[in-house]
Structure 1
Amino acid sequence: MSVSTPRTKEPTAASARFPQTAGRGRPDSGRRRTVKPSRILLVALLTLAALYFLLPVYWLVVASTKSSADLFGTFGLWFSDPRWLDNLSKVFSYSDGVFWDWTLNSLLYAGVGGALATLLAGAAGYALAVYRFRGREAVFKAVLAGVLLPCTALALPLYLLFSKVGLANTYWAVLIPSVVSPFGVYLCRIYAEAAVPAEMLEAARVDGAGEWRIFGTLVLRTMTPALVTVFLFQFVGIWNNYFLPLVMLSDDRKYPITLGLTTWQAAANRIPELNQLTVGGAFLSVLPLAAAMLVLQRYWRSGLTQGSVKG
């Protein structure tokens, strides 16, 4: 008597390749995604931080639509009889349009100074990253020391120096110090070491390109994210600079916006109308910075991270 054992069905190629689990459909079906408490806490903290930084901007937008009486007599975080165009027109027309002079001066200091500082920082950073010469590390350590040195500590020595050469109370007294950016040199060197390949430079030299042509055509294009980052930082820093123009300048027609609005605020005790003009001018002074941040934001992020991941 022979006992027959049941034959098990051999797995086919498809079943072996895609095994089925009994009692289950798709692997993700019936599985709930749980949100971790740490993630909720992180989102809450970031939301509070965003509100903390955006609340003054919101107040500035609301206050710029109010009259001088409503500025102190109504709730500060809501609109009351908005008169935006009238307030802004008073800002530009007050004292023979001195606010226009302040705006053009700020654009000159921040735009030209930021562009020249970016170009010099790119050239210095590239030279420190590519060329080998005696004292290179000593120069780089001096640059790092310049990053740690506060700008306010240099204002008085710079004023004495510019007074000796007759440049005090001129545009050059603010523009020349603005073209120096130790942080820009540091960032450009770190980026150039990671993003500018030596093979590209050697190939360009073999093709007969000179060093200036290599820097102007290849290196600047490769270092564009870092250069835009340096320009953005320098532009914002010069635009918000207050102490250096305060020390260097005595002619109010050469003031930047920051120093000019401070003079309005100081005179508001005698002329109450200047309270509203100061608020309106502060709102207008924020617009170029916001535009620069929105336009150059993607370059800023890539400039901070791309040099660290390139090999």
Structure 2
Amino acid sequence: MAKLSGKRGKTWPTILLMLGALYCLVPVLWVFTAMSKSPSELFTTFSFVPGTGLLDNLSDLFSYGGGQFGLWSANSVLYAGVGGLVSTFVSTMAGYGLAKYEFKGRTVIFYAILGGVLIPGITLAIPQYLLLSQVGLAGGVMSVLLPLIISPFGIYLSRVYASAAVPQDTIEAARIDGASEWRIFTKIGIPMMIPGMVTVFMLQFVGIWNNFLLPFIMLSDQNSYPLTVGLYTLLSKGSGSPALYSVAITGAAVSIIPLIALMLFLQRFWRLDLLSGGVKG
């Protein structure tokens, strides 16, 4: 009887997880299916059967506006790549400092960061625009990058990971050997925190890649738009030219591919961390 109840206890969570995965994946599947349909097929049928307009849709997408989709893609890579890397390094330094150093106000700073985690980013977009406009940065690339450098959740996650992954005894031994604090951080702290840094980078990259409101408010030049804002302009023009709906859907599907590729590439770092943890155990 106990075995039966144990099996049931494992079955229901699995079913719920499968339903959740299905709920998340069905829209993605529809987008990839819809990108293969011609405008006539898209508006006359609703099914998951592939259409016949994939090549035409891709050609229209990459030729739209003289190659604006490629420019938007490059902008997204710039914002998400540079913003994610800088934010990850800043979060790592801040998290390591909060975890490994004793100083006055550390607890207050940590709780302030926790408060920042609870504040929706959407509420900060307008104040950030007003502040950056006062210093003449609104409308440029820096107006999108600067607000993304500080990530309260990234700092919190780095602090938690540094506390668990970097032994204090190792740091003290390095200090006894005469190593500077910067050398300890770069040669001991960072290598031990790489899986956590990968997690922070992935979260930041995906968040910046999918960010819409901040660049929508900050940028006015279409050549500076990321994919999210660029595809929104396509949808806005779709009411006057329905064929642009197919282009926008194709662009949305193509924009998902880099995220999938990045996840597949970075997962080896998480797998390596699990294996190293198993060896240590």
- Which residue is equivalent to 2:111? 141
- Provide structure 2 residue ranges, at least 5 long, that are not aligned to the other structure: none
CA distance in 2, matches of 1:35, 1:222: 37
Cα distance, 1:299 vs structure 2: 4.0
Matches for 1:216-255 after TM superposition, within 5 Å: 216-255=186-225
Deviations 1:77-114 (Å, cap 9, x if unpaired)? 11232x32332121111101011111011111111000
Structure whose CA Rg is larger: 1
Aligned with residue 60 of structure 2, among 86, 90, 99: 90
Matches for 1:190-229 after TM superposition, within 5 Å: 190-229=160-199
Matches for 1:10-49 after TM superposition, within 5 Å: 36-49=7-20
Matches for 1:53-202 after TM superposition, within 5 Å: 53-81=24-52, 83-202=53-172
| Cα contact 2:38–2:54 (8 A) shared by 1 | no
- Which residue is equivalent to 1:13? none
Is the partner of 1:184 in helix, strand or coil?
A: helix
Number of residue pairs the alignment of both structures matches: 276
Cα distance, 1:197 vs structure 2: 1.1
CA distance in 1, matches of 2:271, 2:227: 28
CA distance in 2, matches of 1:201, 1:116: 25
Residue identity in the other structure for 2:17: L
CA distance in 1, matches of 2:45, 2:51: 7
Is the partner of 2:65 in helix, strand or coil?
A: coil
Cα distance, 1:41 vs structure 2: 3.2
TM-score by length of 2: 0.91
1:202/1:41 CA distance change after superposition, 3 Å: closer
- Provide structure 1 residue ranges, at least 5 long, that are not aligned to the other structure: 1-31
Residue identity in the other structure for 1:99: F
| Cα contact 1:229–1:299 (8 A) shared by 2 | no
1:154/1:54 CA distance change after superposition, 3 Å: same
CA distance in 2, matches of 1:37, 1:211: 52
TM-score by length of 1: 0.83
CA distance in 1, matches of 2:187, 2:209: 30
1:167/1:43 CA distance change after superposition, 3 Å: same
| Cα contact 1:118–1:230 (8 A) shared by 2 | yes
Residue identity in the other structure for 2:38: S
Q: Counting helix residues as a fraction of each chain, which structure ranks higher? A: 2
Percent identical:
50
CA distance in 2, matches of 1:182, 1:34: 42
CA distance in 1, matches of 2:273, 2:112: 23
